Amino acid sequence: MKNVIFGMLAKISKMDAEAKQLTAQVEAQALLLSALVLTVSHKGGVEQMVESVNKAINSVLASSDDIVKSDAELLLGEFHELLSVTRLIEQADSELDQEALTSLSDETTPPTLPE
């Protein structure tokens, strides 16, 4: 897992700041999915998955130079952001709010011109 993190960080370090942010988001998503697949295949829980990713990134943070550390911190931040979104989704209502969808649709629909 540590080598996977180093590979991701190598890609991230070659890009400018905006591209780094987007790449970190994508890589964090890929990391989350990979860890999820590995954890599920070992019949582990979600906490085990999160712990595994945190340990892998923290090991890179502990053994790398400042440039890689900054990128690893970015990756770790994006990973935690995805986890917080996942937790929010888990706590959200499972039914669609039709009123909210309708109001959103009304806001995005362009006005019609009179004939």
**Cα(87)–Cα(45) distance, rounded to whole angstroms?**
15
Q: Are 27 and 9 in contact (CB under 8 A)?
A: no
**Cα(83)–Cα(107) distance, rounded to whole angstroms?**
30
pLDDT tens-digit map of 11-40: 777 777 778 888 888 888 887 877 776 666
What is the token pair recorded at 72? 């690893």
Angle between helices 17-41 and 2-13 (to 10 degrees): 160
Residue with tokens 């990756």: 75
State mean pLDDT over 66-79: 86
Q: Rounded to a whole number, what is the largest CA-CA distance in the chain?
A: 69
What are the extents of the domains in the chain? 2-6+17-90
What is the token pair recorded at 46? 């979600």
- The region, left, alpha or beta by phi > 0 then psi within -120 to 50, assigned to residue 33 is alpha
Give 48's pLDDT tier (boundaries 50, 70, 90): confident
Q: What is the pTM of this model?
A: 0.55
Q: Mean pLDDT of all residues in the chain?
A: 76
Give 55's pLDDT tier (boundaries 50, 70, 90): very high
